[in-house]
Structure 1
């Protein structure tokens, strides 16, 4: 949002929420929203303000996401509490501005891999979320997203990799990332033929409503305590194994932790304590699902050569991290799945 528009947002907070004189501090987070820390009253009250940037039609989805957050909170998931407007609305649109207001939750994102206690906290909390959402009405229908995910266009993936290799290879003066891109893209291209066999090895898996984006960037910690799960998505059924594998075998864990298999199983063990009814197949397959997600994505390196992002250096490092994680997961998949099977059957 243009800083000049801040007075308009402040006016909405005053009239719709009864929060006059709010002082807004823009935060460097958010992709589809502009987010602020708001100091109100004498400055001793702190709130989180989310200003939505999408169209009018997007607000229904944003409302659904708020509802999911509240539902999780009812089931003892640590979440930020949404503050209703004076009319009781949790998402407000007024004078062309759409906004929600939340209680401020202390904590920080762990960016270098979760420690064992944090792994258990993340696993326990995800188990609560999946238990809470298991019978969500939106989970009863088929998942169009899953049908597409199970049929990746490998020819298109290879063609894109070849295109990126050509761009990097033809540069008159290659920088360090060009050399890394040439190596990693060649490595990725060499294993694309493994994707069908990995998919064929998947058992029937459970789909249900999930958090939707349960990753380290959406978890706030104070020390070992998980203080809040952020940014629930609207209810849309997908694989339980996907969300479990994505956090248990986060690329930071896989690449940075020498004992990454034990770390992943530690998180999964805690998950099983709060979601003991999850089928063993979902647990055993979660690393394979995480691997497939990594192997079928060129995110980061694709942007570098075709449409650089605002924070492209971060995206470059993200690609290198995810590629290294995919290579390690692929090499150790048999060992990982054996460890997960033991955890699933000895819960």
Structure 2
């Protein structure tokens, strides 16, 4: 009924898709047209979602392949009725590379990310200040807080009279993480100077990029504009946990994506390239996403979050062990500027 009233669609068939972590999604068919419908959960910050939709539009205007949002008949980005809130998007064919990016996909993703950063380089929201992430790392002791969080999770698991399979894996990985956190201060101290802060996509990973074969068909799920490290997003995509864990030649794969990025964002700084793996590693080590939800507030798809925690932990361990090799390869890619 909301689709008809807000968007002028007649009889519409809906097929429920796999839910996201924060939305319930549908494929809608209306005659010869197909749409993607995103239904927001109660309590969602709709102002932030509207700003995020605006970012998707802006990226599309700069040549980034995106899913095009459809405005309501009154020009709104999101339709609301009571507790129901939805956005409507043109359907884009493609699949996410859940197993990691193939060679051609790495290059396509790098080029798309470069276009996004070039498009957002002068975004007025960057005037809000420095990266909150970098400020937090350099002005607090994140390792101490994280160690406390790890200990609290281990205490919760210890209360289980009969540990299950995930409990056993959680104890192993959390114990390893606790030891790795002792390296966090030196990793932060070793961050290069001159890292660029600007508006970025905000949540770019392989699950938010659609491909048909090696062709990138759409970048999805932008976040609202906020100043953040370019190197954070570059490292997060180039050294995606799926690549690091599943690709035997993951360092070369990451550098390949970085080189493709450089072709479409010539304004990047050398430090953004040389520091991107370190920034990605710091972020991985500082995140308990997945395991924290398991024991404190399970998500909509907690089994997926459990698997994601194990994957990200394995990737963080490998990146930490090979960081000198990775940074040498990135320094060569950055080259003299």
What TM-score do the two structures reach when normalised by structure 2?
A: 0.93
In the superposition, relative to structure 1, how do residues 52 and 172 fare at CA in structure 2: closer, same or farther (>3 Å)?
closer
Residue of structure 2 aligned with 1:210, choices 195, 200, 205 = 200
**Aligned-pair CA distance for 1:149:** 4.3
**Aligned-pair CA distance for 1:25:** 1.5
2 CA distance for matches of 1:113 and 1:40? 33
Q: Greater CA deviation, 150-159 or 280-289? A: 150-159
- The C-alpha deviation readout for 1:217-241, integer Å capped at 9, x for no partner, is 1001111111000011110110000
Aligned residues of 1:143 and 1:236 also touching (Cα < 8 A): no
Q: Greater CA deviation, 66-75 or 185-194? A: 185-194
- In structure 2, the residue matched to 1:184 is 173
Which gives a bigger RCO, structure 1 or 2 (Cα 8 Å, sep 6+)?
A: 2
SS at structure 2 position matched to 1:111: coil
**Aligned-pair CA distance for 1:24:** 1.5
In the superposition, relative to structure 1, how do residues 130 and 174 fare at CA in structure 2: closer, same or farther (>3 Å)?
same
- In structure 2, the residue matched to 1:64 is 51
In the superposition, relative to structure 1, how do residues 162 and 95 fare at CA in structure 2: closer, same or farther (>3 Å)?
closer
Aligned residues of 2:97 and 2:211 also touching (Cα < 8 A): yes
- In structure 1, the residue matched to 2:148 is 159
Residue of structure 2 aligned with 1:121, choices 94, 105, 108 = 108
**Aligned-pair CA distance for 1:101:** 1.3
- In structure 2, the residue matched to 1:253 is 243
1 CA distance for matches of 2:297 and 2:81? 35
Aligned residues of 1:33 and 1:52 also touching (Cα < 8 A): yes
In the superposition, relative to structure 1, how do residues 182 and 237 fare at CA in structure 2: closer, same or farther (>3 Å)?
same
In the superposition, relative to structure 1, how do residues 40 and 132 fare at CA in structure 2: closer, same or farther (>3 Å)?
same
1 CA distance for matches of 2:37 and 2:28? 7
Aligned residues of 1:210 and 1:235 also touching (Cα < 8 A): yes
Aligned residues of 1:130 and 1:209 also touching (Cα < 8 A): yes
In the superposition, relative to structure 1, how do residues 341 and 315 fare at CA in structure 2: closer, same or farther (>3 Å)?
same
Structure 1 residue runs without a partner (length 5+):
1-10
In the superposition, relative to structure 1, how do residues 152 and 318 fare at CA in structure 2: closer, same or farther (>3 Å)?
farther
Larger-Rg structure: 1
Aligned residues of 1:13 and 1:19 also touching (Cα < 8 A): yes
Structure 2 residue runs without a partner (length 5+):
none
The reply to whether residue 193 of structure 1 matches residue 182 of structure 2 is: yes
**Aligned-pair CA distance for 1:303:** 2.5
- In structure 2, the residue matched to 1:311 is 301
What TM-score do the two structures reach when normalised by structure 1?
A: 0.91
**Aligned-pair CA distance for 1:310:** 4.0
**Aligned-pair CA distance for 1:343:** 0.5
The reply to whether residue 85 of structure 1 matches residue 69 of structure 2 is: no
2 CA distance for matches of 1:300 and 1:199? 23
**Aligned-pair CA distance for 1:20:** 1.1
- In structure 1, the residue matched to 2:262 is 272
Residue of structure 2 aligned with 1:143, choices 112, 121, 130 = 130
Q: CA RMSD in A?
A: 1.9
- In structure 1, the residue matched to 2:96 is 109
1 CA distance for matches of 2:184 and 2:237? 21
- In structure 2, the residue matched to 1:225 is 215
